Structure 1
């Protein structure tokens, strides 16, 4: 997942908020650093959301 997918998954939060979340010590480590930015494994992001933002499950399609 890239930042845009994380924004969408969390209900359209701002780009700045995504940056804040991904800089947290408890955020999963990125899977890769691409030219367009970092990417994370979907499973890692979903596990973080389940643990830290259970209400975000309502935003899932």
Structure 2
């Protein structure tokens, strides 16, 4: 398990960023299945990535 955690930390680094990006990609994929306009998907993608990185950065600076 220790090896898995080290490999995960090497590639992903932070659980908040990982889950934020994973949830964002799932939402964008679901919107694609519902035939949502591309602009909505792009905005949700950018907003989700930005919020994930912002929360992680905020945690590191506090």
Fold shared by both chains (TM-score > 0.5): no
**TM-score between the two structures when normalised by the length of structure 1:** 0.30
Q: Which has the larger radius of gyration?
A: 2
More strand by share: 1
**TM-score between the two structures when normalised by the length of structure 2:** 0.29
